[in-house]
Amino acid sequence: MRVSFVSFDYTEYCVRTASAIAELEDVQLQLLMPGKRAEEFADYIAPSIETAFFQRARFRQPLQQARMLRSIWQSISDFSPDVVHFQGAHLWFNFLLRRIARRFPLVVTAHNPRHHVGDRSSRKTPQWVMDMGFKAASRLVVHGDLLKQQLCDYLNIEPTRVSVIPHIAMGGRE
C-alpha cells in the first residue's frame, strides 16, 4: 500500500506516526511536510520513507500558497498513493482536499474538530474551512470518543466513517 502522509503542523506526532506506519509490511510511505519543521526530528524519520519537504508559505501570501499547493499536489500525483492521509486543517490546503478526494481515498486526522475557546492562533483557519476538509474525507481519525461524538453530531457525519485511535506518546528524546 502506498500512503501519502501530509502535514503542516504536529511535527513530532507526524514524524513518529509516519515512521510507525512505514514499518508495516507492504507499506511505502511518502511524507510531505515543511522542511524547516522536519529538521528537528530528522533522526526519527524511518529510512524507508520517501520525503517530499516543502517550504511553508505565509497565510497572507496567496501566490506563494498557490505555488506550494501546486508543488504538494504534484508530489502526491507523482507518488500515486493508494490513500492520502492529511493531518489536521490548513487554511489553503483544505481547498485542495475535494480534488484529492476525487482522485484518491482521503483520510483526515481531526486533532481538534472544533476550535478551543480562547485559542487565537488556531482561528487563522475558520471553522467552516476545517469542516469542509472533514466533510471531504472518506474516513476520519480522532483521538478520543468525545471528539468522535462531537465531530459526528456537529457535522452529521456517519459514525462508521470515524475511527478513534489514541494519541501516541511523544517526547523523551535523548
What is the residue-averaged pLDDT of the chain? 85
The Cα-based distances of 127 to 22, 30, 114, 150 in angstroms read 32, 28, 7, 14
pTM equals 0.86
Is pLDDT of 172 > 80? no
Residue 95 CA to residue 91 CA, distance in Å, equals 8
The Cα-based distances of 36 to 57, 156, 171 in angstroms read 12, 37, 19
Q: What is the pLDDT of residue 28?
A: 96
Q: What is the pLDDT of residue 121?
A: 60
Confidence of residue 55 (pLDDT cuts 50, 70, 90): confident
Lowest mean pLDDT among 9-13, 127-131, 165-169: 165-169
Residue 103 CA to residue 62 CA, distance in Å, equals 24
pLDDT in tens, 35-50: 877 788 888 899 999 9
Confidence of residue 6 (pLDDT cuts 50, 70, 90): very high
Q: What is the pLDDT of residue 138?
A: 94
Q: What is the pLDDT of residue 174?
A: 47
pLDDT in tens, 114-151: 765 666 666 677 778 888 888 999 999 998 898 899 88
Lateral strand order in the sheet of 2-7: 50-54, 28-34, 2-7, 83-87, 106-109, 139-142, 162-164
Task: Report which of 66, 23, 27 is spatially closest to residue 45, judged by C-alpha positions.
Answer: 23
Q: What is the pLDDT of residue 108?
A: 93
Instruction: Determine phi and psi for 76, rounding to 5 degrees.
Output: -65, -50
Lowest mean pLDDT among 27-31, 129-133, 157-161: 129-133
For the chain, domains (ranges, CATH) are 2-164 (3.40.50.2000)
pLDDT in tens, 70-91: 999 999 999 999 999 998 777 7
